[in-house]
Amino acid sequence: MELPWDHSAWKPTAGAFEWSGGHWEKPSKKKQEFVKLRGQLATTAKKAQDNPHEARFRFQRGKTLYDLGYPELAAGDYEKTLMLIEYGLDFSSDLGEDVRVLGLQKSAKKKPSLSPEAAQQTVSGNLEKLRKKTYLNYVDAVYATRAYPDMVEICKEALENYPGDPDIRELLGGSECVYSEYVKKSKTMLQAQGETLEDSAWGMIATKSYPWAPPEMRTRAAETMIAANKMLESYSDCLEIRPSALGGPKAATQCFGMFAKRDIKENERILNAPTAAGVANKPVTGQYCYNCASELKMAQVSSFSCCPSMKFCGKDCLQIAEDNYHKALCGKDFTDLYQAASSQDPQESSKGRDSLVFLRLIAISIQSGTHPLMTPPISWLVANDESPSPIPWSRGANITGPLKAIQKLGLDIFAEEYDTWVLQTMCCEPSTMDQTDLSPTISSTSRAVMIATKDIKAGEEVYDTYLNPMYLSAPKAIRQKEMERGGWLDARGCRCRRCLAER
């Protein structure tokens, strides 16, 4: 974040939709507000990097990120600020000493005559004040994402630390009121769509590329695509990856797709690729393969003698785990993460599963010795940062869950390589999957098995579909409505070949 970046690359995630933004307003370039904030971000980011356990610098950077229109990143900094303050107020904590050290130095410089006890009290008092301020700012950041349940949760946590505080009580009342209004407006609509409030009580943010991200971490280099095609040869004799222009040859969006290298017959299996990133909600119950999440057939089950609860559907998945992530996980206790993922509560289970995905990806990163964004399962993917559709966001799935997974692996959550923008980028990129079309040519499974649903000629691009198959034969208007409901379309509508031909 301390590196220079241009105004043209600045694409805030706040204010992208009519309901988002909270109190945030985009600074004006003319008034030099942007230049000022960019400078502030560089300064505070450098301070936080040089002093990773100084709560004040983390808070200041979060505030600047919010002002620049990145509430999800501000929320991450506020969460870490609260964690640092908790350590700082715990005098039995080794990390707490690091948190307090700059404050103690500052107190000694201001008042050299202060006794050590008085200096400690001063620092503790300052941390208490900063904690309250952090809670208040945290709620503002979460409001900008529309994650109403998280607003209420944060206010209640704050009230436990500051019982009776009028500012926090007022904020809790306002948060509960906002959530209540959302429930009233959404209940009927959700019931009509067959969804529950718990399933939809998430925030939303835009998918945008962070301008300070190094180019190699937000683009797919030619070498990456060559390596991907080489690997693809092991799993398919008829597919290759090439540039694709969605919406026709004149479309501006440039991305990659899979193309047929030869004629393919209907019902032909065209891809059978193992994965190192399959995750089940119940990974250690003995029901599902720990690696690919397929249902276990007991006659073929394999496991490690050191980790017998990790069961695999066969030797192939066992070897994939050994080669990619088992060493990073071995000997560590992830019981609470597994329990959260297998919860009967849909919302907790969904967030818990997301935490397990992060756990797997970070474990792969550790074992391969690479930066998380340069780890193969992530570096192969690049999020569509021009997408008109928001993606779900919540405190549990995007902040506390990943941080807990990182801590369980014995890593420093305050290290630069696990900054919130890195974790959020990891969250966005897996949403980049096969090209979607309302006249699909393949069907796929969780093991990346693809079967042709019709004849495909050599040179043609293959398409999957996000739409429920029951709607594929419906008129265009109904298909478009379902795609809009799923959050995949903007006002321009679907631009796949079929929909363009039906205009």
- The DSSP result for 26-44, as a single string, is PPPTTTTHHHHHHHHHHHH
Q: Taking 70 as the threshold, does the pLDDT of residue 16 lie above it?
A: no
pLDDT at residue 441 in the model: 44
Q: How far apart are CA 441 and CA 456, in angstroms?
A: 7
Domain end residue (candidates: 116, 147, 178): 147
Chain-centre distance for alpha carbon 436: 21
pLDDT at residue 439 in the model: 47
Any domain includes 188: no
Whether residues 39 and 128 share a domain: the answer is yes
Any domain includes 275: no
pLDDT at residue 42 in the model: 94
Q: Could you report the per-residue pLDDT of 217-228, keeping only the tens digit for each? A: 666 667 777 888
Query: Residues 176, 152: contact at Cβ < 8 Å?
Result: yes
Query: Residues 410, 462: contact at Cβ < 8 Å?
Result: no
Q: How far apart are CA 310 and CA 315, in angstroms?
A: 13
Return the exposure string of 147-168: e unless at least 16 CB atoms fall within 10 Å of the residue's CB, then b.
bbbbbbbbbeebbebbeeeeeb
- pTM assigned to the model: 0.82
Query: Mean pLDDT in the chain?
Result: 82
Q: Could you report the per-residue pLDDT of 414-457, keeping only the tens digit for each? A: 999 999 999 888 876 444 444 344 444 434 345 678 888 889 99
Q: What is the DSSP letter of 151?
A: H
Task: Identify which of 252, 140, 146, 157 has the alpha carbon closest to the alpha carbon of residue 203.
Answer: 146
Chain-centre distance for alpha carbon 7: 25
How confident is the model over 167-186, as a mean pLDDT? 90
Whether residues 305 and 251 share a domain: the answer is no
Number of structural domains (the chain) is 3
Q: Taking 60 as the threshold, does the pLDDT of residue 490 lie above it?
A: no
Q: Could you report the per-residue pLDDT of 228-252, keeping only the tens digit for each? A: 888 888 889 999 988 776 545 544 4
- For residue 174 the two structure tokens come to 């306002």
pLDDT at residue 17 in the model: 57
Contacts of 110 (CB under 8 A, 6+ apart): none
Q: At what angle do helices 148-161 and 116-143 cross, to 10 degrees?
A: 160
Q: How far apart are CA 217 and CA 221, in angstroms?
A: 9
> In sequence order, what are the beta bridge partners of 444?
450
Query: Residues 137, 62: contact at Cβ < 8 Å?
Result: yes
- CA 140-145-147 angle, to 5 degrees, is 90
Whether residues 425 and 482 share a domain: the answer is no
pLDDT at residue 18 in the model: 54
Whether residues 442 and 391 share a domain: the answer is no
| Widest CA span in the chain | 86
pLDDT band of residue 274 (cuts 50, 70, 90) is: confident
Q: How far apart are CA 391 and CA 114, in angstroms?
A: 52
Here the CATH number for the domain that contains residue 476 is: 2.170.270
Q: How far apart are CA 84 and CA 95, in angstroms?
A: 8
pLDDT band of residue 120 (cuts 50, 70, 90) is: confident
Whether residues 12 and 140 share a domain: the answer is yes
Any domain includes 234: yes
Whether residues 374 and 493 share a domain: the answer is no
Residue 416: other Cβ atoms inside 10 A: 13
Q: How far apart are CA 202 and CA 329, in angstroms?
A: 30
More confident residue, 132 or 227: 132
Query: Residues 426, 383: contact at Cβ < 8 Å?
Result: no
Any domain includes 345: yes
Relative to beta strand 269-272, strand 302-303 is unpaired
Any domain includes 173: no
Whether residues 427 and 326 share a domain: the answer is yes
Q: Which helix (H) or strand (E) holds 368?
A: helix 346-368
List alpha helices for 275-314, DSSP H: none
How confident is the model over 74-79, as a mean pLDDT? 98
Among 316-330, 350-364, 461-475, the range with the most confident prediction by mean pLDDT is 316-330
Task: Identify which of 476, 440, 498, 497 has the alpha carbon closest to the alpha carbon of residue 248.
Answer: 497
Q: Taking 90 as the threshold, does the pLDDT of residue 35 lie above it?
A: no
Domain end residue (candidates: 108, 130, 147): 147
Any domain includes 252: yes
Among 14-18, 22-26, 67-71, 347-351, the range with the most confident prediction by mean pLDDT is 67-71
Range of the domain at 62: 7-147
More confident residue, 286 or 408: 408
Query: Among the listed ranges 27-36, 111-120, 384-393, 477-486, which one has the minimum average pLDDT value?
Result: 384-393
List alpha helices for 369-411, DSSP H: 376-379, 395, 401-408
Q: Could you report the per-residue pLDDT of 308-352, keeping only the tens digit for each? A: 999 998 898 999 999 999 999 999 999 998 888 888 877 778 788
pLDDT at residue 43 in the model: 95
Instruction: Identify the residue whose tokens are 């003698």.
Output: 305
How confident is the model over 152-173, as a mean pLDDT? 95
